[in-house]
Chain A
Amino acid sequence: MSVSVQKENLSRIISVIEEDASREVERILGEARAKAEELKKAAEQEAQERREEILKRGRREAERERARIIASARLKAKKQMLDAKEEAIQKVFSEVRKALEEISKDRKKYREVLKKLVAEAAESIGGDAVIICREQDRRIFSKRFLSELEKLTGVKLELAEETTGGSGGVILRSRDGRTEVDNTFETRLERAMAELRNEAAGLLFGQVGE
């Protein structure tokens, strides 16, 4: 084999080594670039998904906050309305209390009221009874007035030694002490409060039960 052929062969071997190396280098770098591209795509995909999730959560929170604020405002507005109504109802009851006090000072009118209250209580008791009234009202229940009441109610009535306080009205107790009807103004007002509240609301606002 001549020297030139040998050199040519050597050169071919070296070329093969270099070409193999180049291919390997390309393969290694190619794989790395592909992996890098894959990582980028995966990151973009993850970024998109996380972005959507965060925005979705944000929109949900926004809706919750909005609903909470609006509901709270509606509740406050409703309370304003209820306060206005309650204020008016309280005013009615306050005026009623004042008027009751005034009635108890108007002897003629008060007598009429007492007559009604005694008659109503006597009807409930359905027999002889004693009348318990305020100390200052005892003089109203004269013998003549008691007799008038007896005629009206058809039962025997007596004025008790015991007295009651408050702004007016009477308590009737059956003679055997087993039944008692409290027709004092306070008790009547209290007893009828819920009913009167509806009555007052109806009269004030044109509706019942609100």
Chain B
Amino acid sequence: MRVTLLGGDVMIAQAIGEIQEAERKAEQRIREAESEAKSIVEQAEREAEDIVRRAVEEAEREAEDIVRRAVEEAEREAEKILGEGAQRAEEERRKAEERVPQAVERILSLITGI
């Protein structure tokens, strides 16, 4: 069928075309915005994961450091305790050595009755 547009019809068709074009562009902008929004959220998710991961890694390093320092300090203290203990044991050994004859005599007397 052949359509013959009159002057007014042409103008209307043009107007509809322009409106449709504007709508198409608007939809395109919205689609792009949605895509950008998705990208913003995905980027934020990655950054959020990074924030947590970095914090955990750093905290684990700090925790290891706390344990290491505590162990080093405790080992120094332990060495001191052992040193003092050895010294006390040596003093005790020396004192005991001096008292051995007296103890032998006393125990001998308990066993032999004389």
Contacts and interface: CB of A to CB of B under 8 A. Distances in A.
A69 B75 contact: yes
Contacts of B43: 36
A96 B56 contact: no
B29 A25 contact: yes
Provide the main secondary structure of the chain B interface. Answer: helix
A148 interface: no
Contacts, number: 230
Nearest to B112: A113
A199 B55 contact: no
Contact of B84 (A3, A77, A200): A77
Interface of A: 3, 6, 10, 13-14, 17-18, 20-22, 24-25, 28-29, 31-33, 35-37, 39-40, 42-44, 46-48, 50-51, 54-55, 57-59, 61-63, 65-66, 69-70, 72-74, 76-78, 80-81, 83-85, 87-88, 91-93, 95-96, 99-100, 103, 109, 112-113, 116-117, 120, 185, 188-189, 192, 196, 199-200, 203-205
* A-B pairs with lowest CB-CB distance, top 9: A77-B85, A58-B63, A21-B26, A36-B44, A43-B48, A47-B55, A32-B37, A73-B78, A62-B70
Interface of B: 11, 15, 18-19, 22-23, 25-27, 29-30, 32-34, 36-38, 40-41, 43-45, 47-49, 51-52, 54-56, 58-60, 62-64, 66-67, 69-71, 73-75, 77-79, 81-82, 84-86, 88-90, 92-93, 95-97, 99-104, 106-108, 110-114
